[in-house]
Amino acid sequence: MAASGMVPTETTPFVLGRATGDLAEAAAKLAGEIGSVPVETVLAQANRTAGTTAGTGAIGDMRPEPSPWYAFDDGDQGTTDWYPQGLTGSDDSGALPAPAFLVSWYFKPEAGERGIRVTFLDPGTLKYRHALLVLADLDGSYRPIDIHAGGIALHGGLLHVADTVRGLRVFDLAGILDLRTAQDDLGDGTRVGRHDGKFHAFGYRYVIPQTDFWRVAQPGPRFSFVSIDRSTETPQLVTGEFRDTDPEGWVARWDLDLAGGEPNDAYVLGHPRIQGAVSRDGRWYLSQGAGSTANGKLLVYEDGTLDTRPYPIGPEDLTVQDGRLWSVTEFRNKRAIFAVPF
């Protein structure tokens, strides 16, 4: 055991301001035209199947191996367009009717930008489906959100998505829109938005408009990952920053309603390449990446000491579900959702 690298720091640089603007109004207008469906409907209409063996290259030399292990299908393993980043689930939400995981992805090519998406996965059936996250406009159309989406956390029906340079975008899962309720087909798979009275979403059936925004002052700290600590008397939202080569990234905790916008506490992480963080029962759990070919590490802090544990290749965001710690791996042919014990 070694001395912890985490040290307290000032909270004022991380203050968030609410910037809802016309987001909620535009999303409601779009929902009134298309019609919304609950999460369970999306899961019931899942069109892809996860496996328990694909993507196992991410395990590398980790022993014992993580379990359970849910790998994305061949198409999602092999694509160089989309990369998974964030992970949350029904335990975070406290409101979903059945167990589920949600995963955020960002579109990597600059040419043909298609924004960000979220995956809904049923761990009981291993069925899953992607939905496109969008910005609704007051004119009744919508457009992709061209950012590097990071970590995610689901509180009730509100999905918080890390926007690297701006803060936290919020999407209300009560407003999942099913294009099939408005028209007979999914439109042109190369287009997005409303064109000539028809809706398009790059071939996706479901779109979810942004409804709220918590922004950090510019220039300001970067937001990379998000989680929820439900082990405290008052649950808290956890978010922080990835830095590639220096240890000066940060992590902070807010009240879940983000009232006042200032975090309750904040820390300098003391390690580079931190991809996700969870606080639980007085401990901090940090996922640390090491590139696309080397195993990462799980760093566990308690009472000022550090315990380093083996972890898969390419670990990202962290979440808690079924009393275990879960993460998602990002690299091509090494993409899976997996659990380890606390």
How many CB atoms sit inside 10 A of residue 309's CB? 11
Q: What residues are paired with 143 via a beta bridge?
A: 135
Beta bridge partners of 300: 285, 307
Could you tell me the domains of the chain?
2-340 (2.115.10)
Distance CA(31)–CA(209), nearest Å, equals 9
Contact 123, 70 (CB under 8 A): yes
Q: Over its length of 342 residues, how does the chain's per-residue pLDDT go in tens digits? A: 344 489 999 999 999 999 999 999 999 999 999 999 999 999 999 999 999 888 789 999 999 999 999 999 999 999 999 999 999 999 999 999 899 999 999 999 988 899 999 999 999 999 999 999 999 999 999 999 999 999 999 999 999 999 999 999 999 999 999 999 999 999 999 999 999 999 999 999 999 999 999 999 988 999 999 999 999 989 999 999 999 999 999 999 999 999 889 999 999 999 999 999 999 999 999 999 999 999 999 999 998 899 999 999 999 999 999 999 999 999 999 999 999 999
Tell me how far apart the alpha carbons of residues 307 and 3 are, in angstroms, rounded to a whole number: 9
